Amino acid sequence: MTPETIEGYGVRLRPCHPADVPEMVAGCADPQSRRFMPLLPDPYDADAARWWIAEGAPAAWAAGGSAYTIADPATDRLLGSIGLTRVSAERATYEIGYWVGPSARGRGVATAATRLLTEQAFTAGAGRLELLTHPENVPSQRIALACGYRHEGVRRAAGAPREGVRPDLVAWVRLAGDPPGPTARLLPDLPGGRLTDGVVALRRVEPADVDALHRLHTLREVVANRVPPVPPERAAVARRCRLAATRWLAGEAADLAILDATTGVVVGGCALFHDEPATGQAMVGYSLLPEARGRGLATRTVRLVAGWAFGIGVLRLWAGTRPDNPASQHVLERAGFRREGLLRGRLPGPDGSRVDSVVFGRLATDEN
């Protein structure tokens, strides 16, 4: 590729120039930029920006990649930066990366620039583009999906080390032959961010839910239904809460907090797992804190989740309960599930034993 200016989707991509220094410093010194780009010089000052313009960007071009300023077409003012790093010349594979300054966020600038550079890269002969994101960088993952990149997996400890820790990176990939447009999501966002019937409300799990969910998942009766039946460490629950949005975007699980709709207090948890996407099957699981039981909240929760799941294309829902858990079985029956059978020794039990599981199912075509 050679330095050139390209425009489209409301942004301009052009080579860097000295007038970019003030906005470049403001963008790269921003805490959010620094959080997800740990290799930036610290502090990021005018000298660092001038080095990038004079040496860093030209080196990117010389290595077969690219380094653009994302500019406002009306003013030519820097909004951010985007570029390509050549991963393999033989495989025509590149990694795409970008940042957008605080004043330009929330306006679709990064999405527009990523879409534009993606198209230009494929026109120039690229065969595969990789977009790697920190697991907690949810906005960047949404950009990947909007630009037609697909979740490919997690690269363990592939990130730059910070304070002795190498974070995982989530890989999003687009091929030259992929269809145009955004990537269809297996698990869309909840309408308006939540589901509710006025008594119970469901929303995506958030980092602030860790205390309530840790208390829930360390209850003896809840642990008995975990796989394996071992109480989780608080750190594991905290990680689950931090990564709930990422797992949702990847289509792995819709991890939900159950709230009392009147008070807004978290009273339990529920999750929908797309365990068999090819056949349209998903699994639902749920549990409530003791003070919320006996009020019909679990039944209301399962009904809400089932209605949403069938609305987004799930064709069959199933759930399993231990044979000695009649309360959960009644919840499923009241929510329209039918008992389908017993799976002998399906789950690991305590001390190396095996536990049976009673299977319940509901189809999208079943009557409510």
* CATH number of 191-363, picked from 3.50.50.60, 3.40.630.30, 3.40.50.2300, 3.20.20.70: 3.40.630.30
CB 166 within 8 A of CB 134: no
For the stretch 261-300, pLDDT in tens is: 999 999 999 999 999 999 999 999 999 999 999 999 999 9
CB 300 within 8 A of CB 200: yes
Domains 6-175 and 191-363 alike in fold: yes
Q: How far apart are CA 264 and CA 200, in angstroms?
A: 9
| Helix-helix angle 210-217:234-249, to 10 degrees | 110
Whole-number pLDDT of residue 351: 79
Residue 100 predicted with pLDDT over 90 = yes
- 6-175: what fold? Aminopeptidase (3.40.630)
Whole-number pLDDT of residue 327: 93
For the stretch 155-174, pLDDT in tens is: 999 998 887 889 999 999 99
Is residue 38 reached through a cis peptide bond, with omega within 30 degrees of 0 on the bond before it?
Answer: no
For the stretch 179-223, pLDDT in tens is: 999 999 999 999 999 999 999 999 999 999 999 999 999 999 999
Q: 């003013």: which residue's tokens?
A: 75
Q: The pTM is what?
A: 0.92
If you average pLDDT over every residue of the chain, what do you get? 95
For the stretch 15-52, pLDDT in tens is: 999 999 999 999 999 998 999 998 899 899 999 999 99
Domain boundaries, the chain: 6-175, 191-363
CB 352 within 8 A of CB 318: no
Whole-number pLDDT of residue 42: 87
Nearest CA-CA partner of 32 in 91, 88, 101: 101
Whole-number pLDDT of residue 85: 96
> Which CB contacts under 8 angstroms, 24+ apart, belong to 4-8?
6/116, 6/120, 7/73, 7/116, 8/112, 8/115, 8/116, 8/119
Whole-number pLDDT of residue 165: 87
Nearest CA-CA partner of 69 in 10, 122, 16, 144: 16
